[in-house]
């Protein structure tokens, strides 16, 4: 029983972390200078960061281990894609950009460790 509670809390923490990542990306995109490239990169960045959070929720509700692993792999892929869009974005606040890139990298590594642990 205690182990199940630990697992639920861990899932919730990562669920909250992916949610906060997507929300922080949204705020970052709002702060970007309005250039043609930033508008396009921002759209992609919002999609990929939101996909990390959404697919993690789906993974936690998966019906099979195979479905779970596929969702986790998508989370990893979308986190990696978020890093690309962050790197391509032109911003005046490079500290926030670095922080978000670091968070995306950490999430990518977490999902990678889940994949390779199995």
Q: Dump pLDDT digits (tens) for 45-85.
A: 999 999 999 999 999 999 999 999 999 999 999 999 999 99
User: For the chain, what is the HEC assignment?
Assistant: CHHHHHHHHHHHHHHHHHHHHHHHHHHHHHHCCCCHHHHHHHHHHHHHHHHHHHHHHHHHCCCCHHHHHHHHHHHHHHHHHHHHHHHHCCCCCHHHHHHHHHHHHHHHHHHHHHHHHC
* Domains in the chain, CATH or no CATH each: 2-117 (1.20.1440.60)
Q: Dump pLDDT digits (tens) for 13-45.
A: 999 999 999 999 999 999 999 999 999 999 999
pTM for the whole thing?
A: 0.86
């Amino acid at each position: 029983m205690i182990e199940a509670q630990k697992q639920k809390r861990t899932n919730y923490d990562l669920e909250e972390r992916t949610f906060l990542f997507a929300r922080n990306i949204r705020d970052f995109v709002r702060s970007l200078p309005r250039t043609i490239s930033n508008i396009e990169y921002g759209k992609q960045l919002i999609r990929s960061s939101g996909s990390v959070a959404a697919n993690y929720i789906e993974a936690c509700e998966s019906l099979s281990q195979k479905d779970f692993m596929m969702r986790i792999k998508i989370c990893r892929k979308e986190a990696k894609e978020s890093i690309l869009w962050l790197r391509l974005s032109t911003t005046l606040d490079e500290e926030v950009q670095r922080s978000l890139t670091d968070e995306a990298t950490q999430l990518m590594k977490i999902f990678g460790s889940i994949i390779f642990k199995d």
